[in-house]
């Protein structure tokens, strides 16, 4: 059983829902990312999504695009991020989902990708631009080492598509709260609840909702009908707003704590 599954089962026993923050690895540098992971775990994050910076982030809005650009100035590669996770693993057991595009994972082609991710301490992988129909080999590779494969369900997904995604997903299913790219939202559409209900017809896996979740009331709303709320752009924007500030980590952690208080 993966750490992700264990976390959702524990939260269910406790009558709670998951808070899943997202940060971009290497923004503004790897040392800060390491501190952010630990700080977010300390203030109540249940699972953490760690974004791999990419030069052509098609699913990401301007906030996360700028974060990727800042990170890539260093430069930074996926192996650097895995080394970081391996260091963090000596200090926290928080489940970590690698949020990435497929291209960076091709950097691991010279070795078994699943084994390298497992050695680092990655618990799940979400590859935004890899459709399940073309992911069979990678899914098998990750399953062999008990790494969860997480896929996106969009507002436009048909029932047939949802059923297919449910069949290949492990850990949880990620429901996208809106069409388009990531970003800071003003409200959560009433349609999201109906999408979650549709997903539950096809799977008993936990369901997390993300894209546009940026306020405490958004988190509370999502928790009414889903098992987890993902907050990304709002936290990444807080990083951007405090670049060069020695209290950056504390400010981001304070914002995260406020989202779930």
For 166-194, the pLDDT digits (tens) are 999 999 999 998 544 444 555 466 789 99
Q: Cα 154 to chain center, whole Å?
A: 15
CB atoms within 10 A of CB 245: 11
Q: Is the Cβ–Cβ distance between 60 and 96 less than 8 Å?
A: no
Domain boundaries along the sequence of the chain: 3-259
56 phi and psi angles, rounded to 5 deg: -135, 65
Return the pLDDT at 4.
98
Is 197 labeled as catalytic in the residue annotation?
no
- In this structure, the dihedral spanned by the alpha carbons of residues 69, 73, 74 and 79, taken in order and rounded to 10 degrees, is 50
Q: Which of 49, 123, 148, 227 is catalytic?
A: 49
What strand order describes the sheet that includes 152-153? 148-150, 124-127, 96-100, 48-51, 18-24, 228-231, 207-210, 173-176, 152-153
H or E element, residue 233: helix 233-241
211 phi and psi, to 5 degrees? 80, 105
Q: What local confidence, expressed as pLDDT, does residue 181 receive?
A: 43
Inter-residue contact 212 to 185 (CB < 8 Å): yes
> Helix (H, G, I), strand (E, B), or coil: what is residue 200?
helix
pLDDT (tens digit per residue) in 42-55: 999 999 999 999 88
Respond yes or no on whether the N-terminal peptide bond of residue 143 is cis (omega within 30° of 0): no
- The residue ranges of the chain whose pLDDT is under 70 are 57, 59, 109-111, 178-189
Q: Is 60 an annotated catalytic residue?
A: yes
Please state, in angstroms and rounded to a whole number, the distance separating the CA atoms of residues 119 and 132. Answer: 24
Strand pairing class (152-153; 18-24): unpaired
**Under DSSP, is residue 14 helix (H, G, I), strand (E, B) or coil?**
helix
Backbone φ and ψ of 18, nearest 5°: -85, 140
What's the CA gap between 110 and 129, in Å, rounded? 21
Superfamily of the domain at 3-259: Aldolase class I (3.20.20.70)
pTM: 0.94
Selecting among 60, 123, 148, 240, the annotated active-site residue is 60
Q: How many CB atoms lie within 10 A of CB 131?
A: 12
pLDDT of 188 reads 61
């Amino acid at each position: 059983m993966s750490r992700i599954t264990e976390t959702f089962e524990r939260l269910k026993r406790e009558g709670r829902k998951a808070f899943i923050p997202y940060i971009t690895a290497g923004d503004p540098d790897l040392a800060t990312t390491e501190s952010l992971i630990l700080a977010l775990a300390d203030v109540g994050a249940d699972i953490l999504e760690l974004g791999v910076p990419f030069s052509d982030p098609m699913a990401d809005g301007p906030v996360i695009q700028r974060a990727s650009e800042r990170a890539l100035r260093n430069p930074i590669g996926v192996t650097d991020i895995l080394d970081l996770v391996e260091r963090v693993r000596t200090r926290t057991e928080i489940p970590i989902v690698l949020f990435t595009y497929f291209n960076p994972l091709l950097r691991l082609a010279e070795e078994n990708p699943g084994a390298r991710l497992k050695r680092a301490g990655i618990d799940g992988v979400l590859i935004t631009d890899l459709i399940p129909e073309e992911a069979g080999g990678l899914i098998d590779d990750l399953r062999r080492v008990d790494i969860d494969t997480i896929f996106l369900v969009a507002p436009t997904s048909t029932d047939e598509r949802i059923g297919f995604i449910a069949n290949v997903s492990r850990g949880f299913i990620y429901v996208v709260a809106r069409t388009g790219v990531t970003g800071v939202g003003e409200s959560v559409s009433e349609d999201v609840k109906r999408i979650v209900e549709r997903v539950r017809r096809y799977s008993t896996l936990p369901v997390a909702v993300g894209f546009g979740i940026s306020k405490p009331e958004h988190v509370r709303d999502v928790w009414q009908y889903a098992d987890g709320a993902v907050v990304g752009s709002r936290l990444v924007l807080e990083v951007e707003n405090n670049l060069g500030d020695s209290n950056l980590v504390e400010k981001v952690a304070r914002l995260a704590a406020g989202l779930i208080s």
